[in-house]
């Protein structure tokens, strides 16, 4: 039989837990746009560039914006401090994801070589076109609020011909591309392995371990399904690399004075007769600043991948209910004038002080690719950008009608975004640069 002291202690503990729960549940929700009785805030999420609207809402609501969405309450985080406080410092309760993706980046040809032993000799490769088409569809589907079926799941049962069923038409259009992206290269490795011709790769090892043989209409085991999905998504992660490269080229063409300053740094520390390498990393400070500014100026992922809070939480006097979807608005954070004065201007010098990187300026890599688990990406992008600058002059080029292209910093709408205008006016800087380009191309062919 329990002693009176233990019973009293238990009663006090129960009282304190109940009071804490009641107190937290009595807190107000974060502010946000006024919801309608029927649709909540569903109509307050624009189909194009929603990150801009979320930033406007935060100007009156503060760092957290609450959106009352049918079946799925959502909070948009618009400040880096709030994102780090919640998604980093309290990651144990904010780590639940709505979807699983690769967090690491890769370069296109290397990924395909490693994953499938597949050599890419041209950007016109059939498989690259297939993957790009698949990622186009996947990116559209991940924009918050883009499709009402996310909030009214029963809509998935309506026929695609019903007016308003655009989500179903898009899904049916892109599904074959996604399935082919996942299965086509995997099947090619199975066939090559059966003939003893498979190149070393991750997929070949999986095929060997699973002892897979060619066969039509074969039922995939759970292990094989997992292997196909994991290898298929590996190249898809390269979409972020292509986006970052496109933003960099756009910035260089729009700001020739930045391009000229970077090229002067390359001429000083690398010289004309070779390509830059990682031994030059410490010397090429201005180009490292360009890398940071390019990631800030047109972020690859304007809205981070959604998280779901796993229990009731409180932040700055507001309730964050269990099950709420949390979306970080990196686009807004990277345009905070307190961190980045004149945020619309492409200005690498903002990251420099006394000839070195200024560590007092907030690092955009902590926001540009999402919070929670992340990787240091600056060195990965560093290798590509000085090489392009060293051998090419980057100009806007011309559009389809032959007129000079007018560039801007507008982005496409999607999970991974691209500049709407990408320069095409690249030409070798010199005969020596042209020679370096040919030698690099020959090395890739070997």
**What is the mean pLDDT of the segment spanning 198-223?**
81
Please give the share of the chain, as a percent, with pLDDT higher than 70: 70
With a cut of 70, say whether residue 300 has pLDDT above it: yes
346 backbone φψ class: left, alpha, beta (φ>0; ψ -120 to 50): beta
How many Cβ atoms are within 10 Å of 267's Cβ, its own excluded?
Answer: 12
Contact 323, 382 (CB under 8 A): no
Predicted confidence (pLDDT) at residue 135 exceeds the cutoff of 70: no
Higher pLDDT, 258 or 424: 258
**Is residue 31 a contact partner of residue 62, using CB atoms and an 8 Å limit?**
yes
Give the residue with greater pLDDT, 336 vs 113.
Answer: 336
In the chain, the domains with their CATH numbers are 4-97 (no CATH), 108-236 (no CATH), 239-302+339-445 (1.10.630.10)
Residue matched to tokens 């019903």: 162
Statement: residue 2 has pLDDT above 70: no
Strongest mean pLDDT among 4-8, 51-55, 98-102, 242-246? 51-55
More confident residue, 294 or 368: 294
Percent of the chain with pLDDT over 90: 30
pTM: 0.68
- Indicate the length of the chain as a whole number: 446
323: left (phi over 0), alpha (psi -120 to 50) or beta: left
Read off the pLDDT band of 28 (50, 70, 90). very high
State the pLDDT confidence band at 57, using cuts at 50, 70 and 90: very high
pLDDT for residue 378 is more than 60: no
**Predicted local distance difference test score (pLDDT) of residue 235:** 55
* pLDDT for 211: 85
Structure tokens that stand for 159 in this block? 């026929």
Average pLDDT over residues 94-104: 49
Specify burial of residue 419 (Cβ count, 10 A radius: 0-12, 13-18, 19+): buried
CA pair distance 28, 24, nearest whole angstrom: 9
What is the structure's pLDDT at 306? 80
Q: 375 CB contacts (<8 Å, ≥6 apart)?
A: 103, 104, 105, 369
- Say if CB 232 and CB 130 are below 8 A apart: no
Is residue 250 within 8 A of residue 346, CB to CB? The reply is no
- Most confident stretch, 13-22, 82-91, 241-250: 82-91
Q: What pLDDT score does 304 carry?
A: 77
pLDDT of residue 105: 25
* Higher pLDDT, residue 233 or 330: 330
Mean of per-residue pLDDT scores for the chain: 77
**pLDDT at 168 > cutoff 60:** no
More confident residue, 154 or 229: 229
For residue 349, pLDDT over 60 is answered with yes
d(CA 321, CA 186) in angstroms, rounded, equals 43
- Residue 8: predicted pLDDT: 43
Closest listed residue to residue 135, CA positions, set 21, 247, 11, 240: 240
């Amino acid at each position: 039989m329990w002693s009176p002291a233990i019973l009293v202690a238990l009663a006090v503990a129960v009282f304190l837990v109940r009071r804490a729960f009641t107190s937290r549940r009595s807190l107000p929700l974060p502010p946000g746009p006024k919801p309608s009785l029927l649709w909540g805030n569903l109509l307050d999420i624009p189909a194009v560039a929603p990150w801009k609207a979320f930033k406007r809402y935060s100007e009156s609501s503060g760092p957290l914006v609450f959106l009352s969405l049918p079946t799925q309450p959502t909070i948009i985080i618009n400040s880096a401090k709030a994102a780090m406080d919640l998604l980093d410092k309290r990651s144990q309760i904010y780590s639940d994801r709505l979807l699983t993706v690769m967090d690491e980046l890769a370069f296109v040809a290397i990924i395909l070589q490693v994953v499938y032993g597949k050599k890419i000799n041209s950007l016109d490769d059939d498989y690259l076109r297939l993957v790009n088409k698949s990622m186009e569809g996947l990116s559209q589907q991940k924009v918050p609020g883009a499709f009402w079926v996310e909030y009214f799941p029963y809509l998935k049962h309506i026929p695609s011909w019903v007016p308003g069923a655009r989500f179903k038409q898009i899904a049916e259009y892109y599904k074959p591309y996604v399935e082919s992206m996942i299965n086509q290269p995997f099947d090619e490795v199975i066939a090559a392995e059966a003939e003893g011709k498979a190149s070393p790769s991750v997929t070949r090892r999986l095929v060997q371990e699973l002892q897979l043989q060619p066969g039509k209409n074969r039922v995939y085991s759970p292990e094989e399904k997992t292997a196909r999905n994991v290898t298929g998504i590996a190249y898809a992660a390269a979409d972020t690399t292509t986006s970052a490269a496109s933003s960099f080229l756009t910035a260089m063409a729009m700001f020739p004075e930045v391009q000229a300053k970077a090229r002067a740094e390359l001429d000083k520390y690398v010289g004309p007769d070779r390509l830059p390498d990682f031994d030059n990393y410490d010397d090429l400070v201005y180009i490292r600043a360009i890398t940071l500014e390019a990631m800030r100026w047109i972020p690859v992922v304007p809205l981070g991948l959604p998280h779901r809070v796993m229990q009731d939480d409180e932040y700055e006097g507001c309730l964050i209910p269990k099950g709420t979807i949390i979306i970080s608005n990196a686009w807004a954070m990277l345009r905070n004038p307190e961190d980045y004065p004149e945020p619309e201007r492409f200005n690498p010098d903002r990251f420099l002080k006394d000839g070195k990187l200024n560590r007092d300026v907030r690092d955009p890599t902590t926001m540009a690719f999402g919070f929670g688990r992340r990787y240091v990406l600056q060195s990965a992008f560093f290798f590509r950008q000085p090489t392009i600058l060293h051998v090419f002059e980057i100009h806007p080029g011309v559009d389809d009608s032959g007129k000079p292209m007018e560039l801007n910093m507008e982005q496409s709408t999607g999970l991974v975004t691209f500049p709407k205008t990408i320069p095409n006016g690249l030409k070798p800087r010199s005969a020596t640069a042209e020679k370096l380009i040919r030698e690099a191309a020959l090395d890739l062919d070997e």
